[in-house]
Structure 1
Amino acid sequence: MSDTRTLLVEIGTEELPPKALKTLSEALGDHLLEALKEARLADDGDARLYATPRRLAVKVANVRVGQPDQEVERKGPAVAAAFDADGKPTKAAEGFARSCGVSVDELGRVETPKGECLAYQTTVPGKPAAELIPELLDAAVKKLPIPKRMRWSDLDAEFVRPVHWLVLLHGSDVIDAEMLSVKSGRETYGHRFHAPGALTLASADDYPAPLGEKGFVTADFAERRNKIAAEARELARGADGQIVVEESLLDEVTSLVEWPVPLLGDFNPDYLDVPQEALISYMQDHQKYFPVVDTDGKLMPRFITVANIESKDPTVVVAGNERVLNARLSDARFFWDTDRKQTLESRVEKLDTILFHKKLGSVLDKVKRVQSIAAAVAQWIGADVDNTRRAALLAKADLVSDMVGEFPELQGIMGRYYAVNDGEADEVAQAIEEQYWPRFAGDNLPESGAGQALAIADKIDSLAGIFSTGELPTGTKDPYGLRRAALGLLRIIIEKRLPIDLRELLRKAGRPFENADSDAVLDYVLERLPAYYADEGLDTDTVNAVLSLKPG
């Protein structure tokens, strides 16, 4: 059974969750390939993955038609214990022979480090792939990272979405199986609207060509993604602009379409007086559009949407999207105009109605703690103490604005705009945005002195406070983002070369808390250093040697 063929699995479904599509595809490929290797049906190799909104597919080359025969050797009792003084088999020898299904005379002998012993050698025939693969696939499907599986109709099957077809081909042969409520076959299906009929696959090697040629489906995720990005960039260039590409959004849009058709649309330029971050959030989060900016990064009244159909009249599709977006941007302008009727300072007391943590009080309580810490940090680093205290007071006020209520990711950003509108000092406005920096690995660090002091104080308060509650991060869970806070704290201090006594600062931050443990927090923060310096190219042994001296 040394012949090999290409194995194809395609699970056809209702539209899959777009944010989970890549993860599901990769997990199915990994689990199936691992199972094939463990079953000795495949050697080292890669699985070719395909994923669209309505299908998960895996194609594996050189899968054996059956397992290789396996030579098996069983070792029994030592020869000295297997025969008595007269050379007759003992009960131990007879029992071992009986368990092997042979007579004692048919047993062999092998040398071991402990001496000679009885042995039985046989050849176990391999099982056909067609018998094994359905079980392997079923096990792989059950391992998929699906938080909540659903049932449909009156069936017992469970999957992330209802399943409509299953292609299971080994070469040109269909492997008979029934799983997820459907029977396997060789028929796949094209685009829901352009080519809804069945497409018959002659063999696994043909896949996915018929989908692209007749089915209006680009099955390869990476190919579809690259097509969207390339055509969207070309459309933007034609409008003298460039697209704003968030990788996560590009992945999500790719997961929403099988036959991508990027289209350029316009919106009312009057909306450009709203902060562009808000407009971009509306386009990206609500509509899944790609914003278009000029060479200076300024938003243009253009956007790119990706249709999942080749319309006979694309202008109708564009007009529909323009109408929806203009309505959305009207909401953004309403929030912007409404929010500016109140100053940030007038919103501060409302923070007392927002719970930060049941053991740590409200957001207003946090603001007061941060204000005290930030003032101390400002003195140490030579920043303007008055600006720092003012920024700390106003830092969280935008949380109770309508705009941030709609788009929480704009916190700090909108606070800066509102502070400027209120006539606050430039450094105060800048610090309000910079308090959250760095937001992710490699992100910018605060540039203003007040921003540095406020960012450090905000992170220190969160670390000291959450540690005092005993809700420490685990290997898989970090709900309060303490790892990010600790690493951000280190980056600001190290890369901005700030003269800060971290140990003393943690003691100050812990004073309001009953069960504060500044030493534990310090250890936790310093544990981030090896990874930080490894990224900087510094030898880990050197870092650990310094850490052994308990710096801080």
Structure 2
Amino acid sequence: MSNTVLFELGVEELPARFIDDAIEQLTSKTEAWFKESRIPFGEIRSFATPRRLAVQISDVGDKQPDLEEEAKGPAKKIAIDENGDWTKAAIGFSKGQGKEIDDIYFKEIKGTEYVHVTKFVEGEPTEQLLQNFKKVFLSLNFPKNMRWASYELKYARPIRWMVALYGEQVIPFNIENVTTGRTTQGHRFLGDEADIQDASLYEEVLEGQSVIGSVERRKQMIHDQLTSLQEEKGWSLILDEDLLNEVNQLVEYPTAFSGSFNEEFLDIPEEALITSMKEHQRYFPVRSTKGELLPHFVGVRNGNAEHIDNVARGNEKVLKARLKDAQFFYEEDQKGTIDQKLSKLKRMVYQEELGTLADKVERVVAVSGKVAEWLELDENTRQQTKRAAEICKFDLVTQMVDEFTELQGVMGEKYARLFGEDDVVATAINEHYMPRQANGAVPSTTVGAIVSIADKLDTIVGSISIGIIPTGSQDPYGLRRQSLGILQTLKEKGWNISVEQLIDLVHHFYRELNLPTRTHEEVEEDLHEFFKVRAAYLLREDGIDPDVVEAVLSNGIGRYASTRDKAKVLVSKRTDESFKPVQEALGRVMKLAEKASQVEVDPALFENDSESKLYDMYQMTHPAYHEALKEEQPEEALTVLSSLASPIHDFFDHTMVMAEDEKVKNNRLSLLKGISEDVRVFADLTKIEWKQQF
């Protein structure tokens, strides 16, 4: 008998998108369970197909290691009475630990002596502990769950069989009338039931039943077969990694095949062709070595090579029907005009409380125009921005986008060109949906970036205005992703516009239009906090420490690109020994300035040279500091501020800030407050945990 343990959960076919996360959970939770159960183990291998999730654990110990534990009891003064005898508390403690009074000893903890005993805990047999593993299966989380028959358990799919083996021995447990055994199921069409005589033989038994259980090995098989076909045919496959992963989780025994379609379909925009093949049929499109799309495709069958030609012909028929539809949609969509299509937006509800898509477009046009004005764009670019905003949603009424929602924007650009729109406008229609996923590309053009930001802002401000605020994992309108997209675009463009300006602009439009909204104060607070949390997330992703993030966001986000640059500078300064005197000086100023009531500084009230010198230096650095910030030079700005450090230290050495004379005191505090306000424009330095090595 081997020291290998096997757990296999057999289910109805799982959705491909469930599998990667499920097997990752099973592996990590298995490791955690073995450690928590104190069972020695070696390597954990995971296996997954649409019909099974499994873990195989090698070198499992036959029992828990024995333990010697030290148990702490009552304090000595409670354990011994005034006569020096053991109290009931001490006697009860020792009995509760299975020990005698003579086994007690004292240990001092933080100046107080406590009763202790050392007890021996014999390790439990692994065979007995493994029966509790079923709670790992029951703890797996899935995006969606279901009930089946009359069972109460909610799970991704009905459980059909379970294998649980410790070497040759079955580990008994039961989940919803499915009892563990040694019998697994092979490939649905090529295999059969098979008994696993020993847990170490699992992968071998599966292969005998035409199942490749290893996710990595199955993926490599698919990759090798695709590469072989590519070389044989002289093609260049579009090997999309996400599609490869999905196909891998759709099969138990992969066999690649190729098929063809009529060349006439190549007249359809290739994005539509590729979407039909990849998203709807899970095929790999084919290009020539020169990069031209070819009338061929490659699929992966869940089975062997027997009758593979028939499989290819069947798939060709299915794809032909799909492409016929796409061809019809493409031809129909070119009829009429863009303005006719725009009129249909008036009948399409965007959100019940926020009006139609036509209403949304009007708001996007207004916001885009204001942003273009702020950026002082030339008249031609402003007109391009206006037109792009006006027609950015027209493709939503086309049949192609109705069928292939992934193509919104893409088809808008194609159709705009066909209808004779300016190239810049056409590109912006596509770009205004960018970035389309986390860390995706942002719009490359100015017009596309403006319309993208305006559209996303309208969605976010509108949703939050009516109380739709993401909570936990719930974010049905993708507001988090869209806010990150706005910040990433602002970072790339480096525009002289603050996030708060943009938020307030759109919120102002909503108030002017009298759209349903909560109180102005509530919405404004929620909007600013929502964006601040997203900005903090992006800064942390950029490697900025949490305390620095808090410091630079203390007064809001401002211009995001500039705020990020300030954070980078502060990260470098926090370990710079030469910056310590500066940090101490500016930090001390900020703390004292909190006590100031703002009054104009009167040099006539200065009583010593240190006050005058600090005031003169502040007057000199103030404009230079703000000019450096305006010119996007945060390091230079901090260098200018640093020149105040020496006169600040001299000021504190020779000046009692909290003077008895109220006027003198307030004058000194006001001087510090002015300096503090300049520092705060950069960051609240009091929030940073400085890490210089001294």
Normalising by structure 1, report the TM-score.
Answer: 0.90
Preserved CA contact (<8 Å) 1:10 1:168: yes
Output the CA distance in 1 between the equivalents of 2:217 and 2:60. 25
SS in 2 for 1:301: strand
- Alignment correspondent of 1:68: 65
- Structure 1 residues 177, 414: CA separation in 2 closer, same or farther (over 3 Å shift)? same
Preserved CA contact (<8 Å) 1:24 1:144: yes
- Structure 1 residues 298, 42: CA separation in 2 closer, same or farther (over 3 Å shift)? farther
| Gapped regions of structure 1 (runs ≥ 5) | none
- Alignment correspondent of 2:204: 209
Preserved CA contact (<8 Å) 2:183 2:193: no
- Structure 1 residues 134, 412: CA separation in 2 closer, same or farther (over 3 Å shift)? same
Residues 363-402 of structure 1, C-alpha deviation per residue, up to 9 Å, x if partnerless? 1111001111112223325261222211111111111211
SS in 1 for 2:509: coil
SS in 2 for 1:58: strand
- Alignment correspondent of 1:32: 30
1:525 matched to 2:531? yes
- Alignment correspondent of 1:308: 302
1:58 matched to 2:52? no
Output the CA distance in 2 between the equivalents of 1:101 and 1:502. 66
* Aligned amino acid, residue 132 of structure 1: L
Preserved CA contact (<8 Å) 1:466 1:472: yes
1:259-274 mapped onto 2 (5 Å cutoff): 259-274=253-268
Deviation at 1:140, TM superposition (A): 0.9
| Gapped regions of structure 2 (runs ≥ 5) | 512-518, 560-694
- Alignment correspondent of 1:361: 355
* Aligned amino acid, residue 166 of structure 1: M
Output the CA distance in 2 between the equivalents of 1:82 and 1:504. 68
Q: Which has the higher helix share?
A: 2
Deviation at 1:357, TM superposition (A): 2.5
Output the CA distance in 1 between the equivalents of 2:227 and 2:347. 45
Output the CA distance in 1 between the equivalents of 2:344 and 2:120. 78
- Alignment correspondent of 1:178: 174
Deviation at 1:294, TM superposition (A): 3.1
SS in 2 for 1:403: helix
Deviation at 1:530, TM superposition (A): 4.9
1:219 matched to 2:213? yes
Deviation at 1:4, TM superposition (A): 9.0
1:390-429 mapped onto 2 (5 Å cutoff): 390-429=387-426
Deviation at 1:317, TM superposition (A): 0.8
Deviation at 1:219, TM superposition (A): 0.4
- Alignment correspondent of 1:378: 372
Deviation at 1:148, TM superposition (A): 5.0
- Structure 1 residues 509, 424: CA separation in 2 closer, same or farther (over 3 Å shift)? same
Deviation at 1:163, TM superposition (A): 3.0
Higher-RCO chain (CA-CA 8 Å, sequence separation at least 6): 1
- Structure 1 residues 539, 163: CA separation in 2 closer, same or farther (over 3 Å shift)? closer
Deviation at 1:224, TM superposition (A): 0.9
- Alignment correspondent of 1:456: 453
SS in 2 for 1:110: strand
Output the CA distance in 2 between the equivalents of 1:56 and 1:112. 51
Deviation at 1:513, TM superposition (A): 1.9
Q: Which segment is superposed worse, 177-186 or 296-305?
A: 177-186
Q: Which segment is superposed worse, 150-159 or 510-519?
A: 150-159
Preserved CA contact (<8 Å) 2:4 2:56: yes
Q: Which segment is superposed worse, 358-367 or 75-84?
A: 75-84
Please say which structure displays the higher CA radius of gyration. 2
- Alignment correspondent of 1:238: 232
Output the CA distance in 1 between the equivalents of 2:82 and 2:453. 85
- Alignment correspondent of 1:328: 322
Give me the CA root mean square deviation: 2.8
* Aligned amino acid, residue 170 of structure 1: Y
- Structure 1 residues 82, 530: CA separation in 2 closer, same or farther (over 3 Å shift)? closer
- Structure 1 residues 46, 468: CA separation in 2 closer, same or farther (over 3 Å shift)? farther
Deviation at 1:463, TM superposition (A): 2.8
Output the CA distance in 2 between the equivalents of 1:163 and 1:520. 44
Deviation at 1:465, TM superposition (A): 2.2
- Alignment correspondent of 2:288: 294
Preserved CA contact (<8 Å) 2:97 2:119: no
Q: Which segment is superposed worse, 372-381 or 5-14?
A: 372-381
Deviation at 1:210, TM superposition (A): 2.8
1:129 matched to 2:126? yes
* Aligned amino acid, residue 29 of structure 1: T
Output the CA distance in 2 between the equivalents of 1:371 and 1:422. 20
1:70-85 mapped onto 2 (5 Å cutoff): 70-84=67-81
1:191 matched to 2:205? no
SS in 2 for 1:184: strand
Deviation at 1:258, TM superposition (A): 0.6
Percent sequence identity over aligned pairs: 38
Count of aligned positions: 545
Residues 450-495 of structure 1, C-alpha deviation per residue, up to 9 Å, x if partnerless? 2222112112222332232232333433322223222222332332
SS in 2 for 1:207: helix
Q: Which segment is superposed worse, 522-531 or 329-338?
A: 522-531
SS in 2 for 1:498: coil
1:512 matched to 2:506? no
Deviation at 1:256, TM superposition (A): 1.1
Output the CA distance in 2 between the equivalents of 1:428 and 1:152. 52
Preserved CA contact (<8 Å) 2:256 2:301: yes
Output the CA distance in 1 between the equivalents of 2:241 and 2:199. 32
Preserved CA contact (<8 Å) 2:346 2:356: yes
Residue of structure 2 aligned with 1:139, choices 130, 135, 142:
135
- Structure 1 residues 125, 505: CA separation in 2 closer, same or farther (over 3 Å shift)? closer
Q: Which segment is superposed worse, 338-347 or 118-127?
A: 118-127
Output the CA distance in 2 between the equivalents of 1:522 and 1:120. 57
Deviation at 1:295, TM superposition (A): 4.3
Output the CA distance in 2 between the equivalents of 1:261 and 1:466. 47
